[in-house]
Amino acid sequence: MENQDSPVVLAGSMELLDGTEKDLGEYLGGVTLVVNTASKCGLTPQFEGLQKIYSENHDRGFTVLGFPANDFMEQEPGTGEEIAEFCQKNYGVEFPMFAKTSVVGDEANPLFAELADQSEQPEWNFAKYLIDREGRFIRKFPAPTDPADDEVIAAIDSALG
């Protein structure tokens, strides 16, 4: 399932919601689910499922990386501080959340541009990209796919080994 010839997608650094820079290479060695998020979307309750799979698998080397984006019907209008407060207050989000960014088209950040090259760009908020321990793309799950879906859990378990 993994393509050893595919480029590493977890490269470079990006800004977290609190304004600090985070080297994406720090996530190499673990399995990562990259998700574009929005707090005013019909799929926003997926934060609950994302937090649950993060909590249940974090000790096994799994993390979720959230990337708030205002690309779809302006469903992420908040500032970084507002997004952080919303995610913590409503869903108890503990996984890393990055600064608001763009995830589609010419304005997409480098991570999502690379994911689009290897798969496809997000079709909506909460598209999920599974990344292996070497930082390579494994599989994309469409936005409506619940994080607790059996296919998502099986793919994470398989990647974790």
CATH number at residue 89: 3.40.30.10
pLDDT confidence tier of residue 2, bands split at 50, 70 and 90 = very low
Tell me if 89 is assigned to some domain. Answer: yes
Tell me if 135 is assigned to some domain. Answer: yes
Domain containing residue 50: 13-160
Tell me if 7 is assigned to some domain. Answer: no
pLDDT confidence tier of residue 4, bands split at 50, 70 and 90 = low
Q: 0.75 cut: is pTM over it?
A: yes
pLDDT tens profile 5-36: 778 999 999 999 999 999 999 999 999 999 99
The count of structural domains within the chain is 1
pLDDT tens profile 97-147: 999 999 999 999 999 999 999 999 999 999 999 999 999 999 999 999 999
Catalytic residues: 41
Question: 10 Å Cβ neighbour count for 67?
Answer: 23
Give the pairing of strands 137-141 and 128-131: antiparallel
- Residue 11 phi/psi, 5-degree rounding, is -135, 155
Residue 68 in 3-state DSSP?
A: strand
Residue 30 near residue 38, CB atoms below 8 Å: no
